[in-house]
A and B are shown apart, each in its own frame.
Chain A
Amino acid sequence: MSLLHLAIVSPLLLAIFIPFFYKYINRVHTGWFVLPLPILLFGYFLSFLPKTANQKTIMETLSWIPSLGINFTAKVDGLGLLFALLITGIGGLVVLYSIFYLAKDKEKLNTFYVYLLLFMGAMLGVVCSDNLIVLYAFWELTSFSSFLLIGYWYGRDKSRYGAQKSMLITVFGGLAMLGGIILLYIMTGTFSITEIISKSAGIFENPLFIPALLCILLGAFTKSAQFPFYIWLPDAMEAPTPVSAYLHSATMVKAGIYLVARFTPVFGESGLWFWLVGGVGLLTLIWGSVFAVKQTDLKGILAFSTVSQLGLIMSLLGVGAAALHFESLDDNIFTVAVTAAIFHLINHATFKGSLFMAAGIIDHETGTRDIRRLGGLMHIMPVTFTISIIGAFSMAGIPPFNGFLSKEMFFKAMVQVTKSDLFNLETVGILFPIIAWVASVFTFVYSMVLVFRTFTGKYQPEKLEQKPHEAPIGMLISPIILVALVIVFGLFPNLLSQSLISPAMSAILGSGEGFDVHISFWHGFNTELFMTIGVVALGFLLFKTTRKWTKLYGSLPEKLTLNRFYDQLVERAQTGAGKLTNTYMTGAIRSYLVYIFAFFIVILSVTLIWKNAFTVDTINRSPIGIYEIVLVLFIVVGSISILFAKSRMTSIILLGSVGYTVSLFYVLFRAPDLALTQLVIETISVALFLVCFYHLPKLRKHETRMRFRLTNAMISIGVGAIVAAIALSAHSSKQFQSISQYYVENTYEKAAGKNMVNVILVDFRGFDTLFEITVLAIASLGIYGLIKLRSNRGEKSEGK
């Protein structure tokens, strides 16, 4: 176990001790005990920076199940490190924020920090695992801990609904991903991502390639809230705000992005990958941005904006994968898309984290997150206002913040898509920049709504639950740090370019060398700049006229929304399964017997016909004498008369006579021991039947003939026919000699007995006898218990 492994699982280890801290050191907010860990981890991961900047990869292996090729291989390369820094860095800030956000005496802090640490460890495991099975295990742990965190206030209906929804959707995707992992294993014979990438040369011809691609993408799309699986994310906003800031903007929802980036070297050359990742990303981008404008809840806006921005990153990754089609990665127009994706990933984590925290502060200080009740808070909460405006401007892509730079690069990548001749892009490629531009306009509008509806306008104290005031300084530290990063990355983007972006790019594009990334602030007057100017102009116009055109949203029928579809799906699945089960689980033994026997007939007859197994061969036949015929007649007459007997008494007597005739058969076929036993047993069972008959309730004692049912008749005739056919065929195709000769020779020689049946029962195969004795013992004890215990209970109830 190396230090790296320890670092990955350290949050999980600390989680074990959190309840003790909470219980025994209750004067201090439990969060203070958690805070040092992410800071330490952040420092630790920072120490990898020089190594990855030189294109080195750190690999540490810990054996887990080596015989199955499953080992905990921790791998840190540019991409993994970028994510690890995001997770630990924002994790530290979120823990600090949560210390001031969650009250010590009102909330169950122990569960909160246990879940949060569980999530942090799981997320580190996802991004630092080289083994796919380990990655999957951590992946599910993130789904699970996210479920716990969304349902943190489990007393609320909406929390439980949101938690369940996110669980269902992400676990659905997770399982699909597991399928994809297994398909990849079948194709390449390894679970290691590094080895899969090195073996992926001829993978396109494999028939399993497309299923594997679809399964992996399903996992990534559900986790990263892509269309149409984004619906869980807005409902996950019922979680405490630190959780929303951490999980649902900065880390967990980027796990799908990570997965897509990680598998780009494997699948990237396929056209399907380009269209799915790029197309779904763009669709999510515009869908999320359009619906964000409709929201009235601060966190709702932020949730849809997260969806939209994730779509942006996803589409950039899809476009960037096209770079793999060229021989050389240098001077490649598509690599800029990858640069933009990584850069925007970092930017999004910074500004979205700060915006969520600002929304949490507003909620905390005013008691509402509804923008229709907020307004005019600029003078009351100046610091929060500053934070929000920087975050929102960065999100809208306004200079000089970092969002501007990544948006410029996004436009550049999208414009360049149209100039290539790959995948028929010359015809529909023009849609890429158009969708991107329209989505950016909407992004601008909701960013402005977010800030100006909250902080400017009329102050409405009568609508607020408490008197608002500026948040305590502790709550403001984390968002201040994040917006400081927004500005720093905006002004000095090249701080990131060689240290973080370039190594991550070489990991995504699977190249051994670094990229010369240079993000310049000013490109001159080019298409992208004019597009940005257009965004600002049209966005400003739309923002000013919001009240006029937002009514359009009401015209969308409620039935056609995806949430409605999801609810219907869950409900229909439940009622449908219930109805289906009720149709066949009737509770009547008769129907179950019908199923069992019908299957019996169908399966056996199909097998007989299919294998052409029905044969009748008379070679082994013994001569049939008159006695056998007479006895068979007795049995047949007796059995048939049972069916038509009017009273049950007659049935019992007829059954007895059939049993006695069977014992005659034993006499005829020279089996004296069987005949003896059969006689005794038949007598006893007839007596038992009589006992049962006597105790039948008087009212229900209908002395009528059995009712005729066609299904019953058909099934009973079918069973009889099939069993007869099988018996005939089995007898006609005897393949081996019987082993009875051995018993004949050795009954006296070896076992000192002359009665061969008895010697077999107690000597050659005495074990069977032992357990049949046991069966009898159990049966008699059971009968005794049934009778005795029931009468005891009867006494008790009488006593009451």
Chain B
Amino acid sequence: MLDIVIRIALLCCSLAMLGLIYRVIKGPSTADRVIALDAIGVNLVAITALFSMIRKSSTFLEVILLIGILAFIGTVAFAKYLERGEIIENERNR
């Protein structure tokens, strides 16, 4: 029973990914793409979690955490880049 549920969930996630990738490719502005990318990251978390359930393994929990952190950092970096034009500001400003 659980197995079928997981598979349905995976299918949903994949469809969501496809939609998001469409947005990444198409996305009229960069901000659209970045948000799509962030959502892809969240989707990846879900897919990895579902996967470790299928594999009945706990080794991928670290991957889930890492994706979470990276998606956050990446989105922040992108956001800063879009706003300021650079990610790490140069204090000395030569």
Do A and B form a real pair?
yes
Chain A proximity mask over B71-94: 1 for CB below 8 Å, otherwise 0: 001100110010001110000000
| With known contacts A627-B10, A634-B17, A690-B87, A667–B37 Cβ distance under 8 A | no
Q: Among the listed B18, B60, B86, which residue makes an inter-chain contact with A694, where contact means beta carbons less than 8 Å apart?
A: B86
- A645 vs B78: C-alpha distance when bound (angstroms): 19
Determine if A680 is an interface residue (Cβ-Cβ < 8 Å). Answer: yes
Cross-interface CB contact of A672 among B25, B34, B59, B74, cutoff 8 Å: B59
Q: Which of B21, B33, B48 contacts A634 (CB 8 A)?
A: B21
Most buried by A among B18, B24, B34, B63: B63
Q: Which residues of A contact B44 (CB under 8 A)?
A: 660, 663-664
A680 surroundings in chain B (CB, below 8 A): 66, 70
CB-defined contacts of A687 to chain B, threshold 8 Å: 74, 77, 87
Indicate whether A672 sits within 8 Å of B24 (C-beta atoms), given known contacts A657-B40, A694-B81: no
Instruction: Check if B25 sits within 8 Å of A641, measured CB to CB.
Output: yes
- What 1/0 mask marks residues of chain A from 632 to 661 whose CB sits below 8 Å from any chain B CB? 001001100100010001100110110010
Known contacts A637-B21, A691-B87; is A664 also within 8 Å of B48 by CB?
yes
Are B21 and A649 in touch, CB under 8 angstroms? no
Contact with B along A618-637 (1 / 0, CB 8 A): 00000000010010001001
Report the interface size for chain A: residues with CB under 8 A from the other chain.
30
Is A672 in contact with B66, judged by CB distance below 8 angstroms? no
Interface residue range, chain B: 35 or more
Asked if B63 and A675 sit within 8 Å, CB to CB, the answer is: yes
| Residue of chain A at shortest CB distance from B22 | A637
Knowing A654-B25, A683-B70, A683-B74 touch, does A667 contact B60 (C-beta < 8 A)? Answer: yes
Provided the pairs A657-B24, A657-B37, A694-B81 are in contact, do residues A679 and B67 lie with their beta carbons within 8 angstroms?
Answer: yes
Q: Is B85 in contact with A667, judged by CB distance below 8 angstroms? A: no
A668 an interface residue at 8 Å Cβ cutoff?
yes
Q: Are A679 and B66 in contact (CB under 8 A)?
A: yes
Chain A interface, DSSP helix/strand/loop, else mixed: helix
CB distance from A798 to the nearest CB of B (A): 11
Given A694-B85, A694-B86, CB of A650 within 8 Å of CB of B55: no
Contact between B55 and A670, CB atoms less than 8 A apart: yes
A676 at interface, CB cutoff 8 A: yes
Decide yes or no whether A726 CB sits under 8 A from chain B: no
Are B77 and A679 in contact, CB atoms less than 8 angstroms apart?
no
CB distance from A528 to the nearest CB of B (A): 98
Q: Of B30, B51, B55, B66, which one neighbours A649 at CB under 8 angstroms?
A: B30
Bound together, the chains give a CA A686 to CA B87 distance in angstroms of 12
Using Cβ atoms and an 8 Å threshold, which residues of chain B touch A675?
Answer: 48, 60, 63
Knowing A656-B37, A660-B40, say if A676 contacts B14 (CB, 8 Å).
Answer: no
Known: A664-B44, A672-B59. A657 touches B21 (CB 8 A): yes
B17-59 contacts to A, CB under 8 A, are 17-18, 21, 24-25, 30, 33-34, 37, 40-41, 44, 47-48, 51-52, 55, 57, 59
> Whole-angstrom distance between the alpha carbons of A649 and B40 in the complex?
17
Which of chain B's residues have a CB closer than 8 A to the CB of A683? Answer: 70, 73-74
Chain B contacts for A686, CB-based, 8 A = 74
Contacts of A634 in B (CB 8 A): 17-18, 21
A676 interface neighbour in B21, B63, B81, B85, Cβ under 8 Å? B63
Across-interface contacts of A638 in B (CB, < 8 A): 21
- Complex contacts, B55 vs chain A, CB 8 Å: 670
| Closest Cβ neighbor of A795 among chain B residues | B94
Residues of B within 8 A of A664 (CB): 44, 47-48
The CB with the most chain B CB atoms within 10 A, among A649, A660, A691, is that of A660
In the complex, per-residue mask of A666-678: 1 if CB is within 8 Å of any chain B CB, else 0: 0110101001100
Whether B85 pairs with A672 at a CB distance below 8 angstroms is no
B3 adjacent to chain A (CB < 8 Å) = no
Known: A654-B24, A667-B60, A675-B60. A690 touches B17 (CB 8 A): no
Contact A679 B70 (CB under 8 A): yes
**Closest CB of chain A to B22's CB: distance in Å?**
9
| In the bound complex, CA of A675 to CA of B60 (Å) | 9
Chain B residues with CB under 8 Å of A630's CB are 14
Whole-angstrom CA separation of A683 from B25 in the bound complex: 18
Cross-chain contact B63 with A667 (CB below 8 angstroms): yes
Q: Are B70 and A690 in contact (CB-based, < 8 A)?
A: no
Residue of B nearest to A638 (CB): B21
Residues of B within 8 A of A654 (CB): 24-25
* Structural contact, B21 and A667, CB atoms closer than 8 A: no
A638 to chain B, nearest CB (A): 7
Bound: A360/B78 CA distance, A = 88
CA distance A672 to B65 in the complex (A): 12
A664 to B66, CA, bound (A): 13
Query: Shortest distance in angstroms between B23's beta carbon and chain A's nearest beta carbon?
Result: 11
Most buried by B among A645, A650, A653, A663: A653
Give the distance in Å from the alpha carbon of A660 to the alpha carbon of B24 in the complex. Answer: 14
- Select from chain B the residue with minimum beta-carbon distance to A794: B94
List, in ascending order, chain B residues with CB within 8 A of A637's CB.
21
Contact check, A653 vs B81: say whether CB atoms are below 8 A apart.
no
Could you give 20 example pairs across A and B, Cβ below 8 Å? A627-B51, A650-B33, A653-B24, A654-B24, A656-B37, A657-B21, A657-B37, A660-B40, A663-B63, A664-B48, A667-B47, A667-B52, A668-B51, A670-B57, A670-B59, A672-B60, A672-B62, A672-B63, A683-B74, A687-B74
User: Lowest 3 A-B CB distances belong to which pairs?
Assistant: A672-B59, A683-B70, A675-B63
Q: Chain B interface (Cβ within 8 Å of chain A)?
A: 10, 14, 17-18, 21, 24-25, 30, 33-34, 37, 40-41, 44, 47-48, 51-52, 55, 57, 59-60, 62-63, 66-67, 70, 73-74, 77-78, 81, 85-87
Given contacts A649-B33, A664-B48, A694-B85, 4 further A-B pairs with CB under 8 A are: A667-B47, A683-B70, A690-B77, A694-B81
